[in-house]
Amino acid sequence: MKLKALKPRIGLLAIVFCLMAAVPAAVADEDSAGQRTGENKLLEEVSEGLGVAGLWGLIILNSLYYYSMGYKHIPKQAKTAAPDILKLPMKWKSRFRKYHYYGNPLAVATGFLHGIWAKKTNLLLWAGWGVLVVLCLTGLIMKLQKADAPGAKANRLIHTQHALSIAMVVCLLIGHALVD
């Protein structure tokens, strides 16, 4: 993708992030007694909404890739006998890729804002978010570097291994269970 085509998207993302940060940050101050006010309730509700948006963003943006990873391991006889509806998502993958590339960093930023503005947090939640950042950064490096570049194979292996995704999900689930 050319840089000229990317500049309007970067500008639009910057505006969205500024607007997402401006509203809750404007109401984030607490009263002197440290009690929750209506403004702090609004901040908590915005944080909750960001968490839900980040969750669904990650599910939607990554579900096709997890589906394709599972589809690759189906025996060839089963693939040929499978109905067309099971093969259809594999055709969408190339058109869906740009949303995966540009939507996941937005979901990571949404998760960060959710964590910062949340009422309670713990180390497991931030560890899960850190694994998500690693996955996002390795994906970005995969997008920007050539396939024969030094370290490309190691980067691809880090980004596509299931253990990191499972660790991220486990950390986030247990962390949210401890907070709630």
State yes or no: pLDDT of 114 exceeds 90: yes
Give the model's pLDDT for residue 175.
92
- For the chain, give the mean pLDDT: 79
Q: Which residues of 40-62 are buried (b: 16+ CB within 10 A; e: fewer)?
A: beebbebbeebbebbbebbeebb
> Which has the closest alpha carbon to 174: 123, 104, 138, 100?
123
- Collect all residues with Cβ–Cβ distance below 8 Å to 122 and sequence separation of at least 6: 175, 178, 179
- Collect all residues with Cβ–Cβ distance below 8 Å to 92 and sequence separation of at least 6: 64
State yes or no: pLDDT of 7 exceeds 70: no
Return the DSSP state at 151.
T
State yes or no: pLDDT of 41 exceeds 90: no
Q: Name the pTM for this structure.
A: 0.70
Token pair of 129, please?
Answer: 């978010």
Give the model's pLDDT for residue 50.
93
Give the model's pLDDT for residue 88.
80
State yes or no: pLDDT of 80 exceeds 70: yes
Residue 102 identity: Y
Give the model's pLDDT for residue 24.
45
Average pLDDT over residues 40-44: 83
State yes or no: pLDDT of 171 exceeds 50: yes
Helix, strand, coil fractions of the chain, as percent rounded to 5: 80, 0, 20
